[in-house]
Amino acid sequence: MGGENFVKIGEKLKKLRLSRGLTQEELATRTDLSRSFISQLESDKTSPSIETLERILRALGSDLKQFFSDFEEKKVIFRKEERVPVYDEPEGVNSEILISGVEDKEIDPVLVTLEPGAKTEEEPYHEGDEFGYVLEGKIELYLDGVRYRLKAGDCFYYRADKKHYVRNPDKKRRAVILWIMID
């Protein structure tokens, strides 16, 4: 009867390790365990103590609660009424975070509405990339002082290592942008 009663978590550990881009050897080094022990765990040939499992999960950027609650499906659909408004925007700029409550996401999509003549605050240099799709109206994108003009249907993409902001030059129509920050 030996090892029949333990929870089969090996495949889940393996998926987590692979999603972090680590080899068994790298995980073994980070946890001070042997590669063969990691291999046996992942093939459910052995069961870890809670302490060992916690050590492995810490090395993988997770914890027991997250690991075991993760057996439920991740959220896929984000409804319009679940959007989170951004409150500290300049006058005439309305932004809504489209995906909230998701940890470890690599992108941050925001719906930005610019009233006629409105502009976002200038953002300083930062990590990551930014992508935008103009859904409605016209905008001017400024990157380190250089102006780019876009209209509905146009896209922009740049490394965020430049000072940047957008402005709606139109005096009558609003502009709407799907803006995605990428880590």
pLDDT of 109-154, one tens digit each? 999 999 999 999 999 888 889 999 999 999 999 999 999 999 999 9
Query: Tokens 């959007």 sit at which residue?
Result: 83
CA–CA separation, 149 vs 132, rounded Å?
Answer: 13
167's enclosing H/E stretch is: strand 164-167
For the domain spanning 2-69, the CATH number is 1.10.260.40
pTM reported for the whole predicted model: 0.61
Do the domains spanning 2-69 and 80-182 agree at the CATH topology level? Answer: no
Topology of domain 80-182, CATH: Jelly Rolls (2.60.120)
17's enclosing H/E stretch is: helix 10-19
Strand segments, DSSP code E, in 5-128 are 84-86, 93-97, 107-114
DSSP state of 20: T
Query: Tokens 């300083």 sit at which residue?
Result: 124
Higher pLDDT, 73 or 63: 63
Rg (CA), the chain: 23
> What pLDDT score does 3 carry?
44
DSSP state of 98: S
> What pLDDT score does 5 carry?
42
CA–CA separation, 151 vs 175, rounded Å?
Answer: 9
Q: Which residues contact 156 (CB under 8 A, 6 or more apart)?
A: 130, 131, 132, 141, 148, 150
* Domain edges within the chain: 2-69, 80-182
Which long-range CB contacts under 8 A does 85-93 form with residues at least 24 apart?
Answer: 86/110, 89/120, 89/121, 90/118, 90/119, 90/120, 90/121, 91/118, 92/116, 92/117, 92/118, 92/119, 92/168, 93/118, 93/119, 93/120
Higher pLDDT, 149 or 182: 149
